Structure formats: structure tokens, C-alpha cells
Chain A
Amino acid sequence: MEIETHTHDVIVIGAGGAGLRAAIEASARGASVGLVCKSLLGKAHTVMAEGGVAAALANVDTKDDWKTHFHDTMHGGKLLNNWRMAQLHAQEAPDRVKELEHWGALFDRTKDGKIMQRAFGGHTWKRLAHVGDRTGLEMIRTLQDKGIHSGIDVYMECTITHLLKDGERISGAFGYWRESGRFVLFKTKAIVLATGGVGKSYKVTSNSWEYTGDGQALAYEAGAELIDMEFVQFHPTGMVWPPSVRGILVTEAVRGEGGILTNRNGERFMEKYDPERMELSTRDVVARSIYTEVMEGRGSPHGGAFLNIAHRGADYVKKKLPSMYHQFMEFALIDITKEPMEVFPTTHYIMGGVRVDADTTGTTVPGLFAAGEVAGGMHGANRLGGNSLSDLLVFGMRAGMGAAQYANEIKDNALKIDDKDLELGTEEMLRPFESEEGENPYTIHQALQETMGKFVGVFRIKEKLQEGLDELQVLKERASDLKIEGSRMYNPGWHLCKDLKSMLIVSEAIARCALQREESRGAHSRVDFPKYNDEVWGKVNSVISVDGSGEMRLGTSPLPQMPEELRKIVEGGYK
């Protein structure tokens, strides 16, 4: 087949924090690297991160160390985390953050001229390095600046739709240019998935259009395993009003800087749910608390909780939370230095994802690596704020290293691309243009979002999950025949057709895992099983993979055994 072709040692899919860091590393290790992303460079989701990056630098609270960070992360994840990932993450995050500074990042400073750190939920000490409330922007610009001078070839506004294999091994990636709609082939020895999350399967979300679970679906279809997909983080504080901004994030830094949550009766309700940690309890707890207050009739006028920061004074708020100040001023006409915000949980992050080896980020498919939000394991059942940005750096770097090493070992690249795969890919992609009676992809997308919100939301129960799964089957059928107007040139409706397929795979994985896990743990709350079940479910990861006949296979696998010295750290009331 005639097709535009590019050849590299390593293809990184995704140019957020994880992808950029991986590309920089792989390139530094001598690999020829192509970096592919759906949006323009510098616009990935990472740009939106606000509160900070967690690393035990001990600049503010000098008692902090990697062990405490490890301890906090494991407890935040309700011990379902991959211990080795949590360990590497805690140990390496400080170096990765300092490295950003060496590449030009300008974090806020302490009085003695070091990187400033702030408090966040579930972190024992002040641990989040930050720049006001635009930390993600600082991070992505720094990596972008470093990346463009690292000899990487960037292919932007290019979407990967299929991974290609030669036997068991990865040999390429197939996709299209958004601008022209023309197809493109990347021949490669190794692929790093760094495609981020899945939030667009839900209506109320802090996530952008890119979060359609492409990476999870690509990995799944290539035969890799997904773990712990039931753990979807509902961030406690999304905007509620006006409707057009519903779901947009209100950073946890508001609470980190002293924000207080109250209900319509003026009660500081966190006293009831977590009197010790109050507003800075972990996200799963705060989200459930707000949800419960509203469901029991104590919500704010637009069905949320009040979050107040005005008592910190106008100057402080504008200095420390400038984007929140503008966000409310411009979108909600509310001055947060004077009035409280209204907030309600919003779909934010997925803890589950592609199963990887902690040290190399290798998946179960040779040549396929994964890092960042698309990978699972690091955060267990619940992620602590700030632990994602550090995860991107630590495992982005390791993915670049792992992929480059793997690629460098393949001396003469004899890996083949099967023409048939290209034909099948092309045919699948072009089908919506040929359909006569197919449905509108936007309609199906809306129906999917309704379904996930209604049946697979903050609180879950067997009957609803079953109903949700039935709905998903119906949607899958409907989505098998989609119809789209216009040409292949920059056609968002056409792009959505393939994105929908990924979302449906990921949504089914989430719902199935949620139905299987008969307990409540972290972000997964079962009304019919409200307690932890450590004996059974505390010992296993949920596992999804594709079986021989193309059906989704669901199961569990035992948690990796934690070494004794780490167990002591976890069990000690570490401070």
C-alpha cells in the first residue's frame, strides 16, 4: 500500500508531561525519536494542571523524605498501589523536579531562595512544588523548550488509530493527519504510550476532548493488559454554575491554601467525615462527603457545597490562586476574594490503566511501553494531588530509558508491517463516509456520557452497573454504523467516530471491573458493599484483556509482594 511513512527507533505517542519527558530521555540515549500528538505541541492536558508537583524536597518541612512520601502514597491508594512504582516515584521525584529547574523552570521560591512547597490532601508535609496555580503550564513549557532542542521529530495534530505488530512485537503505528485526513505510517522498534486519560466518557469532567482513552484502547487491542480500571477519580471540587462550565476544575490548592467547605446550613461538614484532616482529607473522602451533603438536601443553590477562601484576604488569594480568581470572575461572575465558590465532584483522573513493569514501564507486549496517566498501578485505588505531575516525570524518564534500551538491542531492524493491517485500518477509518443510514457520532457520545454518569458514577451498585453494561452493549451496536458529513480535511465529527470506539472499550472496562470488585476502596464506592474487604479484594488487582475471539476478558491477579522493609514503612505511622 502507498502511504506516507516515517521511520524511527522509538515513537512516543502523546506530548504531555510523560511523553515529552520520555522523548527527551530516549533521544539522549541515542535513539531516533518521533513524538506524535493529537493537538498542537504545548496544548496537552498537562498544561491545565494547577496545584503542583509532589516531591519530598524538604525545602519547607525539613523532616520530609522519600519514605514519608512513599507511605502517604500507599495509604492514599489504599494499599492497592504497585509498591515498586510508588517507591521509585517517591525516591526519584525530587531529582526530576530539580532537573526541570536546570532546564529553565521558575518555581515559586522560599525565603532562602529554594523551590517553594505547599500543603495538599493526604500529604504529611508541605510537598508540592508549584508556580501559583499554573504548575502544569510551567512544566510543559520547560519540557517543550528542552524537547525542541533535543533532536526529536515532532508530528503534531496527528492521531494514532492502530498499533501494528510483527508477530508478538511492536513494529509500527498507523494514524491520520488531522489537517488533511491523510493516513500515515510510523515504522518503529518501540512505542511509548503517553496518551493520558479517559474523562470524556463522562459528561461532567475536568478533562479536554483529547481524553478519550485512546492509549488504553490501543494497548488493549494490541493485547496488553489493563488493570484496576474501576478506579476513576472524581475530584471533589469542580465548578457547578453556570451550566457551560460545569465540571471545570477548582484546584485543590484552594483547600491547600486554607479553603473551607460548608453546606447550605453553614456547617463545616468535613468535621463529620474526617475530623482530623478536614478539607485536606484524601480526594475520595472529600468527594463522597460533598456528594452525600447534596443528596441529603444540604446543598448550595445550584446543587453543590460552598468553598470559601475569602478569609485569606484579597491580596493573598490573587497572588497564590490567580487563575482561580480569574476563572470565577470571568466564567461565573463571582469574586472569590469576597464570596464563596460552589463546587461538586467532577470526573478527573483514572488510576487504572495499562499494566507496566515499574522499572522499565514495559507492558505485556514486547516493544510497547506506557507512562503517565495511561499507565496503571502507581496510584492504587486513589491518587493524591500532585502525584500525577511527579509520576509523569519519573516514569516518563523511565519509559524513555526502557524504550531506548529495547530499541538499541534490535540491531538490524527487520520488523515487518503487514499490508493487510494497513488495509483493514484504512477501511475501518473510511467507513463513516460510506454509511447510508449510520447514526450521528455526537448523539452516541452524549448517550455514552449520560450512561456513565448515571450507572458508573461516584456511588455504584450491582443492579445499576448491570444496567449500565447493557446500555453500553446497545451503544456499541449503534456505534458500529456511524455516518459523517463533509470531507476528510480537519473534520472533528470524523475524528469522533474513532474516539468513540476507544471510549466504548474503556467504559466497558470500567463498568466491568466496577461490577466485579465487591467492596468499597478509595475511589470505588459500592453502596451494596460499603466496606473494605481486605481478605479478598485487598489482595488483587482487577485485570482486563482481550481474548482469542476479540471479547473482553475480566479477571484478577494477586498484588505483587512488598518487601519487608517497605512494609514496615507503610505500617509505621510514619512521620
Chain B
Amino acid sequence: MATAKMRVYRGDSSGGGEVEYDVPVEEGMVVLDAIHFIQANYDGDLAVRWNCKAAKCGSCSAEINGMPKLTCKTRMDSLPLDKPVTVYPIKAFPIIKDLVTDVSWNYKVRKTIPPFKPAKDTKWIMYQEDVERSQEFRKCIECCLCQNVCHILRNHDKKDAFAGPRMLIKIAELEMHPLDTDDRQAFLRTDAGLGYCNITKCCTEVCPEHIHITDNAIIPLKERVADTYFDPLQWLLKKFSGSSKQ
């Protein structure tokens, strides 16, 4: 059986460094399996988050050979095993321990987004073609990988001013819900800091759910906000004609 050298970051807020482990590689094995092997055989206290091990819960994000990925979805045979495999915690959020980071900021921001507000007296009839746009965004597993790579959060740490791509698709999802009646335009411009995004598309590239974050959510949101900003009357008309969201 082949052996992989795993270099896993171990440490906490006070510092740390790589620790190297030899891990036997089985067919089809993923990086999370290697981490579990390390826990069971070398260091029982190696900290990692995971739940589903099937790319469905978005718990196990890390930076593998420098690339932000789900550890449960990254096959060992997709990595060059002649070199050591490095596994680091995602960088945009403060480390707690080893591969576990403090992502509580995301939960705080999420709570500030104005919730779904359905039309009164609706009969709840919606057609497949009308729900599909929001359905795409509702595939999000909240893995924070997009938040992690967005340079506004990662390099400039503008967490006080910019909500990040995950939150923008959450807002887009609500805005494009066929029966939602709320208006999140002001929120988008001010609280969410939509203007900070300069459409680099890094977020879209890393999304394990293949959500078209920039093309389908951020750009349409920007267009909408721009429309409103330049032509509020036009927007008001659309909003009250009853089909604003179709």
C-alpha cells in the first residue's frame, strides 16, 4: 500500500506549525479519511470539523496544498503523493485549534439579513421555472469556502463592511423568491456592502455546489441596485406591478 506524508497544521491562537504523519493510502480515500487515521493512530486530540463525509453539510473546509476545499470531497489520488500533502485551516477566520476555525461571524451576519416576507393572501402557487433561480442558491451548504477566498474578507479583512459572497447569494435567494415582498436594496448597499465586490469570481471557482455566485446572484443584484439608484421610479413601478420578482 502506498504511503502519503501528511503535513497538518497543529496549533491554536497562540501559534503552531506543521506536524508530519505517515498515512497508508487506500483506494478512493479522501483527505478527511487521512485526518481520521491520524486521530485514531497518532494524535487523538487533532481537531477537525466534519459531519456527513458526503459533501452535504459543509463542515470540513480546509486548505489542502494551499487550495480551499472540502476535505471529505478531496480524493487522495487527486493530489501529487510524491510530495507531502499540506492541510491548513481556512485562513479568513480566526483559528480555534488545528483545522477548526471560529466561523461565528458568519452566523452573526446571517441573522441581520431581513427574512422572507411572503405576500399576504397568496395561494402559494409557484411554477418550477420561477423557483429555479432561488433553488440554485438554496443548494448552498454554508461551507464558507467562498467567504474564505474572497479577497475583501481574506486579505483586507473588511468584515465590518462586507457580508461576503455566501450572504449575497442568501439575499439574492430571498429577493428572487417568487412570493417574497420585502425590499433589501438599502440593506444590500449599506450593511452588506455590495459595492465592495469587484467581480473577481474567486468565490464561484471554489464553490463545491457549483453555484454561479457571481453571474447569477451578485451581478443581477448589482444591476438591480444600480437601477434603483439611478431610476427609483422605474424600480417602484416594477415592485408594485405585482410581478417584480418574476
Contacts and interface: CB of A to CB of B under 8 A. Distances in A.
Contacts, number: 160
B131 interface: yes
B50 A209 contact: yes
Contact of B107 (A41, A48, A103, A112): A41
A248 B125 contact: no
Nearest to B117: A104
A43 B54 contact: no
A148 B45 contact: no
A404 interface: no
B138 A39 contact: no
A137 B141 contact: yes
Contact of B56 (A106, A137, A209): A137
A218 to B, nearest CB: 20
A490 B47 contact: yes
A493 B58 CA distance: 22
B96 A242 contact: no
A248 B72 CA distance: 12
A468 B42 CA distance: 29
Given A103-B116, A112-B125, A242-B28, A208 B96 contact: no
Contacts of B118: 102, 104
A398 B26 CA distance: 47
B127 interface: yes
A148 B12 CA distance: 29
Contacts of A149: 111, 115
Contacts of A372: none
B124 A106 contact: no
B188 interface: no
Interface string A165-180: 0000000000000010
A275 interface: no
B42 to A, nearest CB: 10
A496 B177 CA distance: 42
Nearest to A446: B40
Nearest to B107: A41
A104 B26 CA distance: 43
Nearest to B142: A42
Contact of B110 (A148, A323, A443): A148
B51 A104 contact: no
A446 B37 CA distance: 12
Contacts of A486: 43-45
Interface in A30-67: 39-45, 47-48
A489 interface: yes
Interface in A172-205: 179
A388 to B, nearest CB: 16
B51 A209 contact: yes
A489 B46 CA distance: 10
Interface string B25-53: 01111100100000111011111111111
Contacts of B73: 330-331
Contact of B47 (A98, A131, A491): A491
Given A40-B103, A104-B177, A327-B55, A245 B28 contact: yes
B238 interface: no
Nearest to B51: A208
B126 interface: yes
Contact of A490 (B56, B100, B103, B139): B100
Given A48-B56, A141-B138, A484-B44, A109 B131 contact: yes
A242 B26 contact: yes
Contact of A248 (B54, B111, B174): B54
A548 interface: no
A145 B171 CA distance: 12
Contact of A440 (B44, B53, B177): B44
A330 B96 contact: no
Most buried by B among A116, A244, A441, A490: A244
6 contacts: A44-B51, A108-B128, A137-B138, A210-B51, A492-B45, A493-B45
In the A-B complex, list the 3 residue pairs whose CB atoms are closest, starting with the nearest. A242-B28, A493-B44, A486-B45
